[in-house]
């Protein structure tokens, strides 16, 4: 891989050990995947933030680094709401370690915003063709598919290295030839809302890590595309997808229809909403409802606020979003919290150990449906936002 004189000097350690290690990681990835060079990036999103997932070893690795990031960089969700962790039932020891992780990242100049939806935040509004080094799989999918920016699914170390160097290796989804669809998915029914998360949950398994192009009867909104991409990345390993006539590259490139065609029918979507035997025969009752996976947009907060206006709920309900979006939507947050639901920032139902205080979770996200059982060992069942709010035991206050 070609390196500039400056990059060579960095690799030789002229700018310190942290940068030497960082560029060494980028060059190693570039050599493995046949990159021709390093390319500048607009921003980075760093994985490996929740103390639940990185533990003391991760904290030690980050704490040993010195220097400052060269591009705007933010963090994946942490293991708790950084301000309301006690209300979530987080132990003080966990909270202390989680704060140490955030402080270690902050000392590198990384913004302590912990979210899987960087694209809603000031300074991270990527655009078509931008090269990024993002990590969280739903964010990677959204950047590549809905925005048409270009990022591989970075790991924590490679995203952090890219942020410190300000560059990433030029391979994978940074290249035109890797962005062409290789499998068609024909959706044989109308979809709306949480049906898109169900579609991703079903189709992801057959698509695997390939690039699909969807042929749909509807034109999904960006929020619906967000939940589709999150579920595709969780049940498969899809980092980029196209939707004929909807996503920017499908519109611009007029892709040839791939020979392989996966057909998704209405019953397959409906099956995702069927509760598992654990609930129906095992008598399991939902004790928590969570929405906001990926983190809620301002529009999603508005919808939930409108649905909960003047109502109260009887069960624990989390509405997950980024702190910046919550601070921009104070009215919606108030209306949601007035019902008894909690607007939870900085974290989520998958990466917070607080989920383990519950046995059975209802979600409206195909990604959470897949991850809550595997990453939290909590039973999960699927519902639309309307079904989730009904399950929370909503009662009219008026
Ligand atoms: C749970 C997840 O959505 C985010 C947390 O990932 P991590 O612990 O920061 O690697 C994983 C992912 O899909 O990127
Ligand atoms: S809310 Fe969902 S998409 Fe966001 S970090 Fe958690 S699991 Fe990933």
Provide the 3-class DSSP secondary structure of residue 38. Answer: strand
- The upper half-sphere exposure of residue 189, i.e. CA atoms within 13 Å in the direction of its Cβ, equals 14
Q: What is the pLDDT of residue 34?
A: 97
Whether 293 lines ligand 2, by a CB cut-off of 6 Å, is: yes
> DSSP class of residue 276?
P
Helix, strand, or coil (residue 345): strand
DSSP 125: -
- Candidates 74, 230, 354: which one to mutate for ligand 2, based on the most atoms within 8 Å of Cβ? 230
Longest dimension (CA), the chain: 71
Between the CA of 6 and the centroid of ligand 2 the distance, in Å, is 37
Domains defined for the chain, CATH in brackets: 5-176 (3.30.499), 180-269 (3.40.1060.10), 284-396 (3.30.499.10)
Instruction: Quote the DSSP letter at residue 269.
Output: H
> For residue 349, how far is its CA from the centre of ligand 2 (angstroms)?
8
End-to-end CA distance of the chain: 68
- From the list 178, 177, 187, the residue with the least C-alpha distance to 209 is 178
CA atoms within 13 A of residue 297's CA, in its CB half-sphere: 14
Handedness of CA 378, 380, 303, 143 (dihedral sign): positive
For the chain, give percent helix, strand, coil, nearest 5.
45, 15, 40
For the stretch 25-36, pLDDT in tens is: 999 999 999 999
Residue where the block lists tokens 């998915």: 185
CA distances from 120 to 127, 205, 248, 343 (A): 12, 29, 18, 17
Positions in the chain whose pLDDT score sits under 50: none
Full 3-state SS string of 196-230: HHHHHHHHHHHHCCCCEEEECCCCCCHHHHHHHHH
Judged by DSSP in three states, 288 sits in strand
C-alpha 326 to ligand 1 mean position (Å):
21
pLDDT at 97: 98
**Which of 134, 136, 290 for mutating ligand 2's site (highest number of atoms within 8 Å of CB)?**
136
**pLDDT given at position 351:** 98
Angstrom distance (rounded) from CA 239 to CA 229: 8
Question: With a 6 A CB cut-off, is 53 part of the ligand 1 pocket?
Answer: yes
Q: From residue 177, how far is each of 1, 181, 373 by CA, in Å?
A: 19, 10, 36
Q: Which residues pair with 363 in a beta bridge?
A: 290, 382
Q: Which residue has the tokens 């790991």?
A: 155
Cα 11 from Cα 223, distance rounded (Å): 42
Alpha helices in the chain (DSSP H): 5-11, 17-33, 51-63, 92-106, 137-141, 156-165, 195-207, 222-235, 248-253, 266-272, 277-280, 298-308, 323-328, 330-338, 366-371, 385-391
Closest residue CA from atom 1 of ligand 2: 293
Atom 4 of ligand 1 has which residue's CA nearest to it?
136
In 3D space, the residue among 319, 73, 90, 232 whose CA is nearest the CA of residue 243 turns out to be 232
For all residues of the chain together, what is the average pLDDT? Answer: 97
Ligand 2 atom, smallest distance to 139 CA? 3
Question: Which residue's structure tokens are 């606020």?
Answer: 305
Neighbours of 290 (CB within 10 A): 29
DSSP string, 328-343: H-HHHHHHHHHTT-EE
Separation in Å, CA 28 to CA 154, 243, 270: 14, 34, 45
For strand 73-75 and strand 212-215, is the pairing parallel, antiparallel, or unpaired? unpaired
Half-sphere exposure for 335 (CA within 13 Å, toward CB): 14
Residues 344-361 pLDDT 10s:
999 999 999 999 999 999
Count Cβ atoms below 10 Å from residue 317 Cβ, excluding itself: 26
Q: What is d(CA 183, CA 186) in angstroms, rounded to the nearest whole number?
A: 10
CA pseudo-torsion sign 52, 58, 59, 65: negative
């Amino acid at each position: 891989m070609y390196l500039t004189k400056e990059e060579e000097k960095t690799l030789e350690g002229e700018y310190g050990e942290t940068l030497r290690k960082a560029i060494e990681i980028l060059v190693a990835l570039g050599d493995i995947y046949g990159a021709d060079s390093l390319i500048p990036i607009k921003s980075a999103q760093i994985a490996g933030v929740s103390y639940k997932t990185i533990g003391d070893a991760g904290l030690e690795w980050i704490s040993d680094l010195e220097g400052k990031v060269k591009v705007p960089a933010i963090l994946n969700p942490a293991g708790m709401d950084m301000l309301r962790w006690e209300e979530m039932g987080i132990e003080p020891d966990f909270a202390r370690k989680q704060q140490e992780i955030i402080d270690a990242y902050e000392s590198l100049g990384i913004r302590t915003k912990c979210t899987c939806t960087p694209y809603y935040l000031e300074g991270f509004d990527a655009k078509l063709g931008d090269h990024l080094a993002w990590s969280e799989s739903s964010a990677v999918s959204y950047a590549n598919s809905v925005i048409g920016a270009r990022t591989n699914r970075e790991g924590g170390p490679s995203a952090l290295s890219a942020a410190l160097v300000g560059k990433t290796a030029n391979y994978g989804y940074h290249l035109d030839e890797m962005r062409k669809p290789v499998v068609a998915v024909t959706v044989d029914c109308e979809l709306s809302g949480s049906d898109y998360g169900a579609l991703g949950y079903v189709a992801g398994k057959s698509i695997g890590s390939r690039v699909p192009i969807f042929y749909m009867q509807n034109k999904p909104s960006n929020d619906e595309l967000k939940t589709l991409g999150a579920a595709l990345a969780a049940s498969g390993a899809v980092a980029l997808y196209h939707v004929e006539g909807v996503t920017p590259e499908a519109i611009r490139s007029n892709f040839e229809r791939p020979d392989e065609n996966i057909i998704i029918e209405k019953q397959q979507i409906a099956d995702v909403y069927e509760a598992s035997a654990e609930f129906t025969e095992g008598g399991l009752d939902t004790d928590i409802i969570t929405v906001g996976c990926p983190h809620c947009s301002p529009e999603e907060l508005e919808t939930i606020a409108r649905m909960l206006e003047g109502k109260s709920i009887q069960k624990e309900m989390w509405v997950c979003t980024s702190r910046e979006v919550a601070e921009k939507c104070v009215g919606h947050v108030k209306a949601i919290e007035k019902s008894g639901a909690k607007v939870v920032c900085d974290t989520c139902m998958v990466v917070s150990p607080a989920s383990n205080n519950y046995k059975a979770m209802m979600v409206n996200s195909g990604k959470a449906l897949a991850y809550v059982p595997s990453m939290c060992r909590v039973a999960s069942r699927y519902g639309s936002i309307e079904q989730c709010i009904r399950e929370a035991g909503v009662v009219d206050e008026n």
